[in-house]
Structure 1
């Protein structure tokens, strides 16, 4: 494993040397300004500057190799941003795991820190010209992208600066992966609601989650609605087609037909209910047997019937995530026993179903299983936050015994935050983050 990452390490060392020789070390009182130092970093371009809370937020791009092991294959521009407050403050390294998001994260607020935000490779405009080689969108390649950014920017903050990575959901996974391959980049990780599908063949943890979340009455009502949506397929499909037509949705490049797209949306419905809602939404669940077609369809459309369609799949929007899931990250292949006799497509609930043929791939468990083992046994200074009623929080990372912790926020969904913990746990988690940042 070490030999396989050596080329990227050599590249990063060369980049660091170039940065230092270019005079980008922290400025003396009469030296170049922070912005001048930022503009002087080889391979980095300042594309804009805006004010955020009285501090500059720089829009940036960095030239990255398409393949860190084979830099001769070409490059692409990866977007990132830097909200700079002071070279004396910690840096929170944030990735959402998708396109570029610059929203202020909870650890940034706790630490009053600088925040560096990164767009994941091959999302948004962070793609190579002339087509995207999807086989190069791997966990290790993105970790190497982020390592190169750390190496480029770190000299502006000095050797004593503390760097903590954070992210939620896929961003929390990405932060964990970065730390696994480049642990010296960071002084700790705060990962929120980060799924850990270490064994993609075993989804029993997800099954148990849906057997226990909320109340029995709520679970039964949701299952009944989900089943009735397929029992009444002949009446519901025209409504679904009308929604698709009104919104300009098409399915021919991914799921193929409206019938397949409808079934996929119904299968995902209960997951989405708990991901975004809470037990307080349970009283809104209609009685499946007595509801009219219109009532059942409209409630479902408002509470979890998420439509997967061409314009937000493929190379667009969240589409690259499904490529990653199909290749390395894994997915929850639920059994849906209560729907067995009303499904038309028994094997549809997997990521290749929502990918165009050119992006479909085969899965390998090797990378994620290796990360899971490292987190459990070797990692240090990792803090995981999960939501009690969040389906994505069902399969969790297990922190090591080395200054690492896990907290479950009671009663909440995919939006779990430290601020929602009981007071004693919130104080403990906050104190840990402050300590890691040297505060």
Structure 2
């Protein structure tokens, strides 16, 4: 009976505030304020650290934002709450939520942080997903709905950010809803115009300049020797490969993609360790350390099949440098081999061309950061052609883990200044990331992207 009375009391209290704003204004506790948001379900509340309260939630979204009768799904979001009088960092990996911890911006500037899992990934998948509704417009609508809801509570400046696909997702959010946040920090975000974009090939053929010519040539030699010993090496491969068709396809794809992953996630110092004159076992183990065959198994590919669908319909991606391997190849290499079986795959670069035009003519208050040696830099976003406040900075010899804390000299000072202006805060410490020994969110995401070859 007591439980029933308590439940009815809660219903009366929150039901009395049909207007979310009035409900929020009447509450003082952050949890009570969040309970005023009708589409939010709180899953757990814990103390993350002395500074942050961690609140796990879901946000009810329609699968189709243009259809009010559409199937609904729950999108995972995680809040690290510090104080409603602090700015908000809106963060996404563009995939699942790989881990929960403050990102570098939240650390350095002492902000709140709201992480959003992308639709159709891990915990945010509709019961009966319509793949045609996995596109950048529907995703931006998701992010907009969440932003508008939580801005009723957090009224200080908002900045959004993400790395790789997360950086892409953050810019798409700005394309459709430019006023949702005051600034965007997009790390290592590419803008491709084909599923076989040739700009990546040119980059790989020239990365590092003359200083790394031998490294590039050694990689080609290693690829040749691996494929020449295909039959022997296939005996060492185990796993289920029904998505790609066979372990032979997986092996060939691994060999083809390895140089790209080497530059994307590696350290140029490893060039000296390429076992071009080593034993077959040494060559195979080096391949495994760069592009492990296990990453091509059904278990690994299924987890990110949503990404491959997006790449094959809208986002595009790189071609592969294979002219030196054609006499040894046995299989095709198409994005369709990685996408959901039975789903129609029609690629269009129309939206990416619109994003490019927007970046050149309308985008404002965006900071792009790239790694000098990262192959994805081949498809970097263009700067504004009309004098808008867009900035592009590079981490020297940087890879796909480039972010503002890894910049050097004037570039680093410039990045801190830009972000601080948006947040209306000074950095707590420009060396804070060095003082705090636990990894930041970007570090965790980088290691997982590296492991998963994303």
Q: Deviations over 1:193-219 (max 9, x none)?
A: 00111x217733212211122301111
2:177 corresponding residue in structure 1? 182
Aligned to 2:297: 309
Do the aligned partners of 1:94 and 1:116 also contact (CA within 8 Å) in 2? yes
Aligned with 2:139 (options 118, 142, 152): 142
1:69-108 pair list within 5 angstroms: 69-101=66-98, 102-108=100-106
- Residue 27 of structure 1 deviates from its aligned partner by 4.1
Return the alpha-carbon distance in structure 1 between the equivalents of residues 304 and 164 of structure 2: 13
Within the candidate set 165, 170, 178, 2:165 is matched to 170
Q: Secondary structure at the match of 1:333?
A: coil
Listed as ranges, the gaps of 5+ residues in structure 2 are: 1-15, 426-454
Q: Is the 8 A contact 1:268 1:305 kept in 2?
A: no
Q: 2-side partners of 1:140 and 1:270: how far apart?
A: 33
| Number of the residue aligned with 1:354 | 338
Tell me how far 1:337 sits from its aligned partner.
Answer: 1.0
CA distance in 1, matches of 2:173, 2:271: 38
Task: Give, in whole Å, the separation in 2 of the partners of 1:94 and 1:419.
Answer: 16
Quote the residue 1:321 is aligned against.
307
Are residues 20 and 411 of structure 1, via their aligned partners in 2, closer, same or farther at CA, if it must alter by over 3 Å?
farther
Moved more, 182-191 or 301-310: 301-310
What's the counterpart of residue 33 of structure 2? 37
Partner of 1:57: 54
Matched, 1:398 2:382: yes
State which of 279, 292, 299 in structure 2 corresponds to 1:292.
279
- With over 3 angstroms needed to count, the CA separation of the structure-2 counterparts of 1:19 and 1:420, relative to structure 1, is farther
Aligned equivalents of 1:376, 1:19: Cα separation in 2: 44
Q: Sort the Cα spacing of 1:259 and 1:360 in 2 relative to 1 into closer, same or farther, 3 A.
A: farther
Is residue 250 from structure 1 mapped to residue 240 from structure 2 by the alignment?
yes
Q: CA deviation at 1:20?
A: 7.6
CA distance change for structure 1 residues 19 and 285 in 2, over 3 Å: closer, same or farther? farther
Secondary structure of the structure 2 residue equivalent to 1:383: strand
| 1:193 matched residue in structure 2 | 188
CA distance in 1, matches of 2:424, 2:23: 22
What residue is the counterpart of 2:370 in the other structure?
A: 386
Cα displacement string for residues 248-275 of structure 1 (whole angstroms, at most 9, x for unaligned residues): x3111x1011111111111111111111
> Partners in 2 of 1:359 and 1:230 — Cα distance?
32
Q: Which moved more, 1:214-223 or 1:425-434?
A: 214-223
Query: Secondary structure at 1:394's aligned position in 2?
Result: helix
CA gap 1:391/1:360 in 2 versus in 1, 3 angstroms: farther
> What's the offset of the Cα at 1:436?
1.2
The reply on whether 1:333 has 2:310 as its aligned counterpart is no
Report what 1:211 is aligned to.
205
Superposition RMSD on alpha carbons, in Å? 1.8
1:53 offset after TM fit, Å? 2.0
State the 1:133 CA deviation: 1.2
- Whole-Å Cα distance in 2 between the matches of residues 19 and 427 of structure 1? 46
Deviations 1:157-187 (A, max 9, x none): 23xx111000000000000000100111110
Instruction: State the match for 1:234 in structure 2.
Output: 231
- Structure 1 residues not aligned, in runs of 5+: 1-17
Post-superposition CA distance 1:58-100 (Å, at most 9, x none): 1010110010001212100000011111111110100100011
Q: TM-score, normalized by length of structure 2? A: 0.85
Aligned residues: 402
Q: Match of 2:414?
A: 428
